[in-house]
Structure 1
Amino acid sequence: MLRHPEHQYLDIIRHLLEKGDKRIDRTGVGTLSMFGAMMRFDLSDGTFPVYSTKKVFWKTAVKEMLWFLTGQTNIQSLLRENVRIWTDWPLATYRKATGTQISQEEFEAKILADDDFARQWGDLGPVYGKQWRRWLGADGKEYDQVADVIETLRKNPSSRRMLFHAWNVPELGQMALHPCHMTYQFYAANLNGEGQPRLSLMVNQRSCDIGLGNPFNICQQAALLAMVAQQVDMVPGELIWVGGDTHLYLDHQHLAETVLEREPRPFPKLRLTRRPASIDDYRIEDFEVTGYDPYPAIEAPVAV
């Protein structure tokens, strides 16, 4: 019997608990850390790698990916989709700048109700979407890396240059959070064989919060692979994830210990219900996920 692919995730967690390097991190929370990890997920049969050992809110993760693809950097549009995962950073900035201890709910309400307030306090700086779709070059021109990758996949799918990344050195200081999942590289196979070509994606992540971040990352990266494959008339192959500083926050140890007690359940399946005109036209309603039967969610704090 084949080993469930989620055991790759659980093996990393077990290694961190048993052998992780205890260290103080940027947030002050502290982590158990390791350097260098890899997981591979075969998506060729429609598998959607949404972890089962704790409930993952996959729609929220996919909505975040769709937001990245718009090139937007303000949380207002995310909040309109009921996605709150980026609020912590601008909220912390607002509290520090104004000296007020406004609640997250009040802050989000003001962002939604007041466009001027949102422009002033809701922007995250030139984070992922800006770099992916509107990279500002030294020549003063903007570059759409995602569109370039899709164009290359259509015209020269054996290229070794099909990637986009977000580590724009001159703009790092303006970002609310430096890019964690930095490089997305695509690889097309079976270009001369029978049947459809297979598209794989490798993501290099310099920093990975294994408890809260990674379950979202894997899910949304699989969604991106499905979208790009559909746009270029290929089928998904493998999602390959590579982690640099892969860490478990010290206040997430209860989460880690709980998921290790649970036996993974079958991954769900993903079907795209339509083929949009371009990568820019996908909506959350286009993602049909069936067979997801996770264990209950586990609450854990976000380190800012």
Structure 2
Amino acid sequence: MSYADRVFVDMCEEIINRGTGSQGMEVRPRWEDGTPAHTIKRFGVVNRYDLSREFPAITLRRTAIKSCVNEMLWIWQKKSNNIRDLKSSVWDEWADEEGSIGKAYGYQIGKKYLHHTDADGSPVYMDQIDAVLYDLRHNPFSRRIIVNMYNFDDLHEMHLYPCAYSMTFNVTKNPKSGRMVLNAILNQRSQDVLAANNWNVCQYAVLLHMLAQVCHMEAGELVHVIADAHIYDRHIPLVQELISREQFPAPKFWLNPEIHDFYQFTEEDIRLDDYQYGPQIKNIPIAV
């Protein structure tokens, strides 16, 4: 059965059975009817996925792989903070009348900074994803290949503080093939487990595969660290039904091998083959 399913089920059971609730406390999120949106949570959840073994899409229900990759590319490739550049409607609640979500996510990825000086001492400015690509190709064993979207100077101009806020990349070596292996840690301050967990896992698994391919590496391990992994009160019965379902083998992941430039990837260059899954959960209430 799918390893991602087992991780998801274990995490949900841990939250429901051993988590702490926010009932009786003042909370920021509200349901559409204005009712406080309380949660039950676990602190410091760490999930590991070996991408060399299988792709971590759950089979309990379908993860819309092309939609989640479109959102990931909207941030990391287009470096956009405007929902008019995004195909899905997942950010509509946080956009202003011009479509902007403020100085969040793609805006932070695209900000340039002084990365290094070249041979003649001239300054070289890069944004965060270009710096990652440069370092993976020129200094792969650096322990400083980090992307951070939690910029305190700009928080007041973000319509939502970044949830998945940093990636730390680390390269190892495959002793059998001799090839370099790209690994990453995804740090997330907060996660709505039902609505976003596998969506985020699949996004960053695809990102890791893409970066590995264009940097001539193998995809290795994705470590997902969630500070506050929570299930909303109105989601609990939905989650309980979901994790009781039949599980299927993991799908096979395909990434277009002809793409060697990160900026040429689209959601059409990825595919999940032999993907079996349970019925979708429709109309999940979202707290804002």
Instruction: Specify the TM-score bucket, using the shorter chain as the normaliser.
Output: 0.7 to 0.9
Partner of 2:92: 87
Superposition pairs of residues 99-114 of structure 1, within 5 angstroms: none
- 1:199-258 Cα offsets, whole Å, 9 max, x none, are 111101111111111111001000100100011000101111011011001111122101
Matched, 1:67 2:74: yes
Report if the CA contact (8 A) 1:55-1:298 is conserved: no
CA 1:123–1:291 in 2, change beyond 3 Å: closer, same or farther? Answer: same
With normalisation by structure 2, the TM-score equals 0.87
* Number of matched pairs: 268
> Shift of the alpha carbon at 1:165?
1.0
Q: 1:159 aligns with which of 129, 142, 145?
A: 142
> Shift of the alpha carbon at 1:143?
4.5
Partner of 2:28: 26
Partner of 2:120: none
64-73 or 2-11, which moves further after superposition? 2-11
* Identical positions, percent: 32
- 1:93-148 Cα offsets, whole Å, 9 max, x none, are 6xxxxxxxxxxxxxxxxxxxxxxxxxx431111111111122579xxx97411111
Report if the CA contact (8 A) 1:271-1:288 is conserved: yes
Partner of 1:39: 47
Q: Quote the Cα distance in structure 2 between the aligned partners of 1:290 and 1:244.
A: 32
Report if the CA contact (8 A) 1:230-1:275 is conserved: no
Q: 1:52 aligns with which of 59, 62, 65?
A: 59
Report if the CA contact (8 A) 2:47-2:225 is conserved: yes
> Shift of the alpha carbon at 1:17?
1.2
Q: Quote the Cα distance in structure 2 between the aligned partners of 1:228 and 1:239.
A: 13
Q: Quote the Cα distance in structure 1 between the aligned partners of 2:160 and 2:126.
A: 21
Q: 1:184 aligns with which of 161, 164, 167?
A: 167
Partner of 1:297: 280
Partner of 1:145: 128
Q: Which runs of 5+ in 1 are unaligned?
A: 94-119
CA 1:4–1:277 in 2, change beyond 3 Å: closer, same or farther? Answer: closer
Q: Quote the Cα distance in structure 1 between the aligned partners of 2:134 and 2:186.
A: 19
- 1:231-288 Cα offsets, whole Å, 9 max, x none, are 1000101111011011001111122101221232211121212433422221111112
Q: Quote the Cα distance in structure 2 between the aligned partners of 1:84 and 1:31.
A: 24
Tell me the secondary structure at the aligned position of residue 40 of structure 2. Answer: strand
With normalisation by structure 1, the TM-score equals 0.83
Q: Quote the Cα distance in structure 2 between the aligned partners of 1:277 and 1:265.
A: 32
Partner of 1:128: 105
Higher helix share: 1
Letter aligned with residue 132 of structure 1: I
Q: Quote the Cα distance in structure 2 between the aligned partners of 1:4 and 1:179.
A: 27
> Shift of the alpha carbon at 1:290?
0.5
Report if the CA contact (8 A) 1:134-1:142 is conserved: no
